[in-house]
């Protein structure tokens, strides 16, 4: 190669331009017209490409969705205007890529997370945990949640709706179960376990800035390990029998006790009435005796005679009376009771003897 000879470029731009000119206007007289046509063609392609690029900036946000907008990768907080860069439901336009990017997020959609089970398949490595009394319990959990902060959900944490919430839910559940004995977790404290787990899970998700709002935490299956299931079933049945017997005893108490209290009240009222009657009688008798005593002190003979007559009036009506004529000689032997029936002698009358 001659060192004085200039090296030719791999692409001869003059030749390329000449060929384009020949396509639009020939080699001679139409060169100017061809150059102008080439410029118009290139400009038209540019205009069409610009229109297509601008049209890709249109997007629609449906109810329950929210748009996250970024300008050269920087998140834009709030709407830029009524039409440009809107994040609320409706039709909007934003700068297309690579200037602007957007992501549409379902913020009202209720999402689910299953812990310890996938469908009908148990996952023991997630569900087996230790209770506060160092027993092993198998707990399956369902978590429902939605998105409350789009920025945190998309840009603060990697995979917040996957590994992050799963790990946080497992940590919260193990913490709550570890504070209770196994009997409480299996029977009476399920509602409390759900409530405390939800509070602890939401605290962890807020601490991690995940932008997730926990709507519900529900225990699916809570049971002891299969190796000791029968023993725990016996315990549960015994506890149910105890509750049943206690309920029966309380029902019997509710039936018998009011009646016993009513009967006791009735007896008390009868006793009180008897007491008042006797007190009134005694008071009346004492008052009468005092009145008689006062009269007796005033006139002893008259009062003594009156008392005697009153006593006779009370006694005589209860017996059979005989009037003996003085002409009979006053012999009372004929009235002596000689019958075998001793009741006649104890009664109030003497029967006459037969001749």
Q: What is the pLDDT of residue 281?
A: 92
Q: How confident is the model at residue 207 (pLDDT cuts 50, 70, 90)?
A: very high
| Whether the predicted pLDDT of 351 surpasses 80 | no
Q: How confident is the model at residue 74 (pLDDT cuts 50, 70, 90)?
A: confident
Element (H, E) at 69: strand 65-71
Q: What is the pLDDT of residue 88?
A: 78
| Secondary structure (3-state) at 288 | helix
pTM for the full model? 0.56
281-303 mean pLDDT: 86
Structure tokens at 266: 């009735």
Q: How confident is the model at residue 7 (pLDDT cuts 50, 70, 90)?
A: very low
Chain centre distance of CA 197 = 15
Q: What are phi and psi of 321, to 5 degrees?
A: -110, 140
Q: What is the pLDDT of residue 211?
A: 93
pLDDT single digits (tens) 118-177: 888 889 899 999 999 888 899 999 999 999 998 899 988 999 999 999 999 999 999 999
What is the share, in percent, of the chain residues with pLDDT greater than 70? 76
Q: What is the pLDDT of residue 53?
A: 84
pLDDT single digits (tens) 224-263: 887 777 887 887 788 889 999 999 999 999 999 999 999 9
Q: What is the pLDDT of residue 331?
A: 59
Asked if the bond preceding 98 is cis, omega within 30° of 0, the reply is yes
Q: What is the pLDDT of residue 3?
A: 40
pLDDT single digits (tens) 76-121: 776 554 456 667 777 888 888 888 888 888 888 999 999 999 888 8
Is residue 61 a contact partner of residue 86, using CB atoms and an 8 Å limit? yes
Structure tokens at 186: 């299996």
> What is the crossing angle of helices 229-298 and 300-315, to 10°?
130
pLDDT single digits (tens) 274-285: 999 999 999 998
Is residue 58 a contact partner of residue 71, using CB atoms and an 8 Å limit? no
Among 290, 293, 317, smallest CA distance to 304 is for 293
């Amino acid at each position: 190669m001659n060192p004085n000879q200039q090296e030719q470029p791999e692409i001869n731009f003059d030749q390329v331009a000449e060929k384009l000119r020949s396509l639009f206007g020939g080699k001679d007289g139409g060169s100017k017209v061809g150059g102008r046509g080439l410029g118009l063609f290139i400009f038209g392609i540019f205009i069409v490409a610009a229109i297509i690029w601008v049209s890709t900036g249109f997007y629609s946000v449906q109810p329950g969705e929210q748009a996250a907008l970024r300008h050269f990768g920087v998140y834009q907080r709030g709407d830029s205007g009524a039409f440009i860069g809107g994040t609320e439901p409706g039709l909007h336009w934003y700068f297309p890529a690579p200037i602007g990017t957007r992501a549409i997020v379902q913020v009202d959609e209720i999402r689910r997370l299953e812990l310890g089970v996938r469908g009908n398949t148990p996952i023991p490595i997630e569900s087996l945990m230790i209770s506060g009394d160092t027993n092993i319990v198998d707990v399956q959990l369902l978590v429902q949640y939605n998105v409350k902060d789009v920025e945190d959900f998309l840009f603060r944490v990697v995979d917040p709706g996957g590994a992050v919430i799963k790990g946080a839910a497992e940590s919260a559940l193990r913490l709550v179960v570890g504070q209770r004995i196994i009997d409480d977790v299996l029977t009476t404290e399920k509602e409390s376990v759900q409530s405390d787990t939800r509070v602890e899970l939401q605290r962890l998700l807020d601490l991690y800035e995940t932008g997730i709002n926990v709507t519900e935490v529900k225990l699916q299956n809570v049971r002891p390990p299969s190796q000791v299931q029968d023993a725990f079933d016996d315990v549960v049945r015994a506890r149910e029998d105890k509750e049943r017997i206690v309920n029966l005893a309380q029902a019997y108490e509710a039936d018998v006790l009011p009646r016993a209290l009513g009967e006791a009240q009735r007896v008390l009222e009868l006793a009180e009435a008897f007491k008042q009657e006797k007190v009134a009688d005694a008071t009346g008798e004492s008052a009468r005796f005092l009145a008689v005593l006062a009269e007796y002190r005033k006139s002893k003979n008259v009062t003594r005679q009156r008392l005697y007559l009153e006593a006779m009036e009370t006694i005589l009506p209860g017996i059979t009376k005989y009037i003996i004529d003085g002409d009979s000689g006053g012999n009372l032997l004929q009235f002596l009771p000689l019958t075998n029936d001793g009741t006649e002698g104890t009664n109030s009358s003497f029967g006459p003897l037969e001749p």
